[in-house]
């Protein structure tokens, strides 16, 4: 069964520092992977998704993620943190397609990013 | 327009009340989802609709009753809820896939539900 593990429930970085949020996946088939961000009291917003077209995926707000099959990882990075990046980040994998046209996401437990001025 | 809207933003209800949550999207998506999110937890899938038909029910108690009256609207009817049902309820939508494509889910802002 497809699953994801996010390492670190809370990450703190200084403003301007590198952001690295870790996500490892478990999948018996090529996975479809997503990173979502959730600001306080809001819904989830898609940052980026991996669809096997390219291993380095660029997303919104300067974020990117690299798919590494050998490490079963899909870590999220941003070269320079902004105060506005403080939020909860979720890695997700699409569960095995059921054939009904829709699909289920399995989310990691989330990583809260704090940015220190 | 990539917006999913949800009403109301906040809802407080007693355990004997009946209320409904509403979700709307105009992206032409034919898959719609209800999630429940407790504080400091990831979203948990409750229901999935494909072509306005319920395709997945994740063993949700019958006090939650979903409805998809048309391709743009999704409702969640609430009756006799318990205090532990207090949570953020999120609606999402996506294009249908044949399995080989990966379409993201678009989420609404959620309804913050408090059961007293």
A8 φ/ψ angles, rounded to the nearest 5 degrees: 95, 110
- Distance in angstroms (rounded) separating the CA atoms of residues B22 and B6: 6
Residue of chain A with shortest Cα separation from B108: A43
Integer-rounded Cα radius of gyration of chain B: 14
Q: How confident is the model at residue A30 (pLDDT cuts 50, 70, 90)?
A: confident
Confidence of residue B7 (pLDDT cuts 50, 70, 90): very high
Closest Cα in chain B, distance from residue A58 (Å): 15
Q: In angstroms, rounded to a whole number, what is the distance separating the alpha carbons of residues A22 and A1?
A: 20
Q: B13 in contact with A at a CB cutoff of 8 Å?
A: no
Instruction: Report the pLDDT value the prediction gives residue A99, as an integer from 0 to 100.
Output: 63
pLDDT at A71: 93
Task: Look at residue B57 in the predicted model and tell me its pLDDT.
Answer: 84
Q: Does B113 touch chain A (CB under 8 A)?
A: no
Question: Which whole number is the average pLDDT over B55-60?
Answer: 86
Q: Who contacts A20 (Cβ-Cβ below 8 Å, separation ≥6)?
A: A11, A75, A76, A77
Query: Least CB-CB distance to A101: which of B40, B97, B102?
Result: B97
d(CA B15, CA B79): 8
Q: How far apart are CA A40 and CA A54, in angstroms?
A: 31
**Chain A residue at shortest CA distance from B43:** A107
Report pLDDT for A5: 96
> Coil, helix or strand for A12?
strand
Instruction: State what percent of residues in chain B have pLDDT above 70.
Output: 94
Give the model confidence (pLDDT) of B69-109 as tens digits. 999 999 999 999 999 999 999 999 998 877 666 688 999 99
Task: Say yes or no to pLDDT of A19 above 80.
Answer: yes
Kindly determine whether residue B55 and residue A103, on different chains, have CB atoms separated by under 8 Å: no
Predicted pLDDT at A96 = 65
Report the C-alpha gap between A13 and A87 in whole angstroms: 12
The average pLDDT across A69-86 equals: 96
Please answer yes or no on whether B106 and A98 come within 8 Å at the CB atom. no
Residue A70 has pLDDT above 80, yes or no: yes
Residue A21 binned pLDDT confidence (cut-offs 50, 70, 90):
very high
């Amino acid at each position: 069964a497809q699953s994801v593990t996010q390492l670190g429930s809370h990450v703190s970085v200084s403003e301007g520092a590198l952001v690295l949020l870790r996500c490892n996946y478990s999948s018996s088939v090529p996975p479809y992977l997503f990173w979502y961000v959730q600001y306080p009291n809001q819904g989830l917003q898609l940052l980026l998704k991996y669809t096997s077209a390219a291993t380095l995926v660029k997303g919104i707000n300067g974020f990117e993620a690299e798919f590494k099959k050998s490490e079963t990882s899909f870590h999220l990075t941003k070269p320079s943190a902004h105060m506005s990046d403080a939020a909860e980040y979720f890695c997700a994998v699409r569960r095995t397609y059921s054939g009904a046209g829709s699909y289920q996401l399995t989310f990691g437990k989330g990583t809260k990013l704090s940015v220190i001025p | 327009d990539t917006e999913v809207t949800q009403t109301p933003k906040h809802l407080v209800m007693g355990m004997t009340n009946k209320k409904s949550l509403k979700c709307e999207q105009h992206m032409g998506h034919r898959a719609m989802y209800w999630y429940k999110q407790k504080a400091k937890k990831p979203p948990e899938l409750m229901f999935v609709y494909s072509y306005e038909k319920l395709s997945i029910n994740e063993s949700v108690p019958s006090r939650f009753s979903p409805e998809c009256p048309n391709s743009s609207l999704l409702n969640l009817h609430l009756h006799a809820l318990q205090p532990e049902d207090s949570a953020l309820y999120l609606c999402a939508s996506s294009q249908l896939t044949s399995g080989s494509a990966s379409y993201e889910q678009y989420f609404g802002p959620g309804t913050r539900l408090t059961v007293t």
